Amino acid sequence: MHDNEYHELAEATIWAIEAAFENTGLDIDSECDGDLLEITFPNRTVMVINKQPPLQQLWVATKFNGHHFEYRDGQWIDNRTGAELWELLTESGSKQAEQSITLTAE
């Protein structure tokens, strides 16, 4: 993938993640500063999503662990576990929010 494609895709994904968290109806704060998105949950735990341009990856740091996602076959896939980005965000977001949430790229 060309660098421009990566940047467009990663930025669109970060904006979609921010919108998805805002649409949960929970008292979640988000702050996006260029390549970095911080999601703060009501219990004050934080999730960080950021671009890693040299590797063409998205990194996600949750309260529990970190993940490195590569774009493959139309999806962001964790290069260690094989988890899909939105599934991981839903699972980790639910744990950090201490209630069930569903996040999608819509």
**What is the domain partition of the chain in residue ranges?**
3-97
What CA–CA distance (Å, rounded) separates 1 from 7?
A: 10
Q: What is the dihedral of CA 60, 61, 67, 71, to 10 degrees?
A: 10
User: Look-up: residue for tokens 């939105």?
Assistant: 86
Cβ atoms of 46 and 40 within 8 Å: the answer is yes
What CA–CA distance (Å, rounded) separates 44 from 42?
A: 5
The dotted CATH code for 3-97 is 3.30.920.10
pLDDT tens for the 106 residues of the chain, in order:
899 999 999 999 999 999 999 999 999 999 998 899 999 999 999 999 999 999 999 999 999 999 999 999 999 999 999 999 999 999 999 999 999 999 988 7
What CA–CA distance (Å, rounded) separates 62 from 34?
A: 19
Q: Does pTM surpass 0.75? A: yes
